[in-house]
Amino acid sequence: MSDPITTPPEPHAVSPDAANPYAANPYAVSPDAVNPYSQNPYAPTPYGQNPYAANPYAAPGYVPYSPNGVAYAYGPRTNPLAIASLVCALGALVFGLFASIAGVILGHIAMSQIASRGENGRGLAVAGVIIGYALGALALVGIALYVVFFVGMITTFG
């Protein structure tokens, strides 16, 4: 008598099962098993093959795909007036009231364009408008204090 722990089972000793045809052969691989010889999608590309190069044999209108097979997607662009609005509003720190007025105007135009075109940059436009109003108000207060100071100087020493 052989020891059942150390002796491997014989392939013909397994009883065939009608529901599982692969039970008759314990060495057979079911079709549901993962193919160990399939191509690894995470493997590095071989030398000399650029996965980002344009395909010279592609049909017109071909969408280039990334190495993992997903199409490249570009989002909507950022509205340039929104960027200009923020730059002009921050330029009011150096150039004063006129730059803040330009920042506010560009910000309002940018917000209307963003709403109609579906572009990015709403946060930049809102920041440009808020900073433009705040620095414009500070510039107006500074101008008012300047005028009051010199009017007071003229009337006092007059």
> Alpha-carbon distance 110 to 80, whole Å?
8
pLDDT, averaged in runs of 10, over the chain (158 residues): 61 54 62 62 61 62 61 79 97 94 97 94 96 96 94 88
Q: What is the pLDDT of residues 124-139, one digit of tens each?
A: 999 999 999 999 999 9
Which of 52, 47, 46, 54 has its CA nearest to residue 66?
Answer: 52
Mark out the alpha helices in 6-121 (DSSP H runs): 80-95, 97-117
> Alpha-carbon distance 127 to 83, whole Å?
10
**In the chain, domain spans:** 80-157
pTM: 0.54
Residue 59 · residue 99 · CB < 8 Å? no
- Which residues pair with residue 78 across a beta bridge? 120
